[in-house]
Amino acid sequence: MSYVIQRQDRFYVVAYDGLDPLTGKERRRWHPAGRDRAEADAMAHRLDAEREVPPPKAGGPITVGEFLTDTWLPRKRRQVRATTAYRYAWFVDRYIIPTVGDVPLRRLRLDHLETFYADLAATGGRQGTGLAPKTVREVHMIIRAALDLAVRREVVGQNVAARAHLRPTRAGNAVARTWTDAELARFLDAARPHRLYPALHLAAHTGMRRGEIVGLKWCDLDIAQRRLAISRTLQCVGGQPVEFGVKTRTSRRSVELDPGTVTLLSRWRRRLHRDGMPAGIDDWMFCNTAGRYLNPQSISQLFDRIVTGAGLPRVRFHDLRHTHASLLIASGEGVKVVSERLGHAHPAFTMHTYQHLLPGMSAAAADPYLSV
């Protein structure tokens, strides 16, 4: 039986985890559940529903697919967010089971995996053009974690995935892609006629994450103080909206708004009232044409269409966040201010990500030697 405990402003779900094989005493596992009581209760209910996970079948060949779907995935659903668990299940169903799912777990060999990874890199993906190295690595990490569990449960003697050779990811992928001030202005001009322009404008002027944008409610906006409170994120799991707390502790923050953005949001709310859409204090700030929640993927698709139509350099929706940060830093704004605005855990992370944009650093370092 799982139960919820509150410690200061955070909730934890305490779940039964079997008997200790040495002492015979019950073991309890603590699962962090954020600051939302409803989310903690939902996690406790999910843990109770999945507590009776069937153990691996004794005797007979357990296949890779059976172990993943019957043992590893139910265990992970108790440990990670629903969006992460959904992504794991999607990788298992789409990539792993069709290829190596029927291989008996004890007969899985290194050459099975390396051939599988090579095929994914060469012909995987919707268009058969191959998956990115990062995606192949994610598939590998799922298999490796599942085999680690199989080793601990003595289903197999060794984790063959630990010796697999993977194509290295390209170092250039780690660099944030950004637009210039002029390119951002072109994008906003092209986006202005669209219904959801206020959401795109807000993303460009605050650096908020996509889930944070669609998770906003009108109660989060303080017009008098020109401030927006970010306390939740909305994700789409299996076609249904799921509300979570923000990504990290420091992601819960207040963002100052410029007067133009406040005016734009006020006009947007009046438009919702005029169109008969829900715009009460507890309603979503941005909704679809039916007045329901806004699917995060739909705003990314709109963003991509606008970028293509405007002939701008291809970037992701998340790169609006990088663009906002880079323009602030390039204009001389302090790293700590930018870090707090973005909700980064530490200013050092902000500096590491955008250090190539910090104005004058190289020149200042060279100054003492210029006169020598």
pLDDT tens-digit map of 313-332:
999 999 999 999 989 988 88
Q: With beta carbons less than 8 A apart as the criterion, state whether 91 and 28 touch.
A: no
For tokens 């390119």, name the residue: 183
pLDDT band per the 50, 70, 90 thresholds, residue 171: very low
Q: What is the reported pLDDT for 242?
A: 77
pTM attached to this predicted model: 0.64
- Kindly state the average pLDDT of the residues 216-244: 86
CA distance 302 to 48: 40
- Indicate the pLDDT class of residue 170, thresholds 50, 70 and 90: low
Predicted confidence (pLDDT) at residue 339 exceeds the cutoff of 70: yes
pLDDT value for 193: 96
Cα 260 vs. chain centroid, distance in angstroms? 29
Q: Tell me the mean pLDDT in the region 230-259.
A: 81
In this structure, of 169-183, 205-219, 263-277, the range with the lowest mean pLDDT score is 169-183
- Strands 233-237 and 240-244, bridge-based pairing: antiparallel
Measured CA to CA, the distance from residue 363 to residue 53 in angstroms comes to 61
234 DSSP β-pair partners: 243
So what's the pLDDT on residue 334? Answer: 86
User: Does residue 369 have a pLDDT over 50?
Assistant: no
pLDDT of res. 46: 78
Q: Closest by alpha carbon to 237, among 268, 211, 205?
A: 211
User: Percent of the chain having pLDDT more than 70?
Assistant: 85
The span from the CA of 135 to the CA of 223, in Å, is 42
| Contact assessment for residue 19 and residue 25, using Cβ atoms and an 8 Å cutoff | yes
Domains belonging to the chain, first-starting first, are: 82-171 (1.10.150.130), 181-358 (1.10.443.10)
What is the distance between the alpha carbons of residues 4 and 11, in angstroms, rounded to a whole number?
Answer: 7
For residue 262, pLDDT over 90 is answered with yes
Q: What are phi and psi of 173, to 5 degrees?
A: -70, -20
Sequence-ordered strand ranges (E) for the chain: 3-7, 10-19, 26-32, 221-222, 227-230, 233-237, 240-244, 253-256
Query: Quick check: 194 and 306 in contact, CB under 8 A?
Result: yes
The Cα–Cα gap between 15 and 31 comes to 8
Burial class (CB in 10 A: 0-12, 13-18, 19+), 3: middle
3-state class (DSSP) for residue 151? helix
Of 18-22, 237-241, 289-293, 329-333, the one with minimum mean pLDDT is: 18-22
Of 147-161, 200-214, 235-249, 342-356, least confident by mean pLDDT is: 235-249
pLDDT on residue 358: 55
Mean pLDDT for all residues in the chain: 84
